[in-house]
Amino acid sequence: MKKKTIKPNYIQGKTKKGINYKYVEDDDFIIIPIETSYINANENLNKIIDPVIKLIENDDYLIIAETPVAISQGRLVDEMKYEPGISAKFLAIIWSKYIWGYLLGPIFGIKDRTIKNLRRLPPESKRHKEVVLQLYGWKHALKPASEAGIDLSNAPGTFVSLLPENPEKVAKDIAKKIEEKTTKTAHVLIIDTDATYKRGKKYFTGLPIAINGINSNKGVFGYVLGQLSENVGSTPLGSSKNITVKEGIKMANIAENYQKTLSTNMETIHSVKNILGSNIDGTTVESLDSIVHTPAVIVREKNKYNL
């Protein structure tokens, strides 16, 4: 069944220079989508930066998804080059599909959608587990899904994208370029949809990286403990300025909640066919480029500029 989405209720705005843009309201903020074509491997991020320069104002947040950043860095791996061994086959078939899909998943109360996806893991998942084992080890491979933040849904064919390298530096570099072009100070945040959890006063995530204040690289241990803790939302990976964890997660969630309203949001590999009309292995750069992508949003306080 095709995923239902709520179409954003866009409002038309105009900059002081007369540039038109659209935005949606979210409590005390407005969200301005940055829409682009597909960002290819080893391509710079000008498709994001150029429209941002025309719209950004002082103290705006520019929130960028991790996958286009990683792809622009060439952080792609072809899973067909990995032949699954016994360990990878066990992790894909016995551990993830059956033990987590039918036993541990229901016990820990993980999402019904996740359980359903685990129970229908395709044969290709064995190669995927081999990739995780070789690049990140057992700690991440034992996580039943979304291992190490590897994205299967926004890369062509049998390629997957890893997390971006040094997202904090990328965020700072983008903020510097924006300031050089506009003299405006923007707060750039690179985020991942994988969860950050809170237990007591401590924040943690299974992802290999996160901003300061979030205990990262916990792998399956973070995932299991997370099921017994509070899921506070998406994970900020890198920030151009020092930011509290609470503020970073707040901004990440604003951006992620907007993304979920889009009909082109490829949240999982199972949504690829509905959106692109092809199976995950049949995804091409051309098909990815056939839809409008929203790799970033500007988040601005609503009371600024009489909005």
Q: Summarize the confidence of residues 295-300 as an average pLDDT.
A: 97
- H or E, element range at 47: helix 46-55
User: Is the confidence at residue 290, as pLDDT, over 80?
Assistant: no
More confident residue, 286 or 98: 98
* One-letter amino acid for residue 149 of the chain: G
Identify which has the larger pLDDT, 284 or 256. Answer: 256
Q: Which of 302, 295, 252, 292 is nearest to 11 (CA)?
A: 302
Percent of the chain with pLDDT over 70: 89
What would the DSSP string read from start to end of 180-194?
HHHS---EEEEEEEE
Beta bridge partners of 161: 76, 151
d(CA 153, CA 274): 12
Q: What angle do CA 296, 75, 278 make, to 5 degrees?
A: 70
pLDDT tens per residue across span 125-140: 999 999 999 999 999 9
Report the pLDDT value the prediction gives residue 4, as an integer from 0 to 100: 39
Q: Which CATH architecture has domain 11-75+163-291?
A: 2-Layer Sandwich (3.30)
- Please tell me which residue, 34 or 278, carries the higher pLDDT value: 34
Residue (of 6, 178, 7, 167) closest to 75 by Cα position: 167
Q: Are 266 and 274 in contact (CB under 8 A)?
A: no
Domain extents for the chain?
11-75+163-291, 77-161
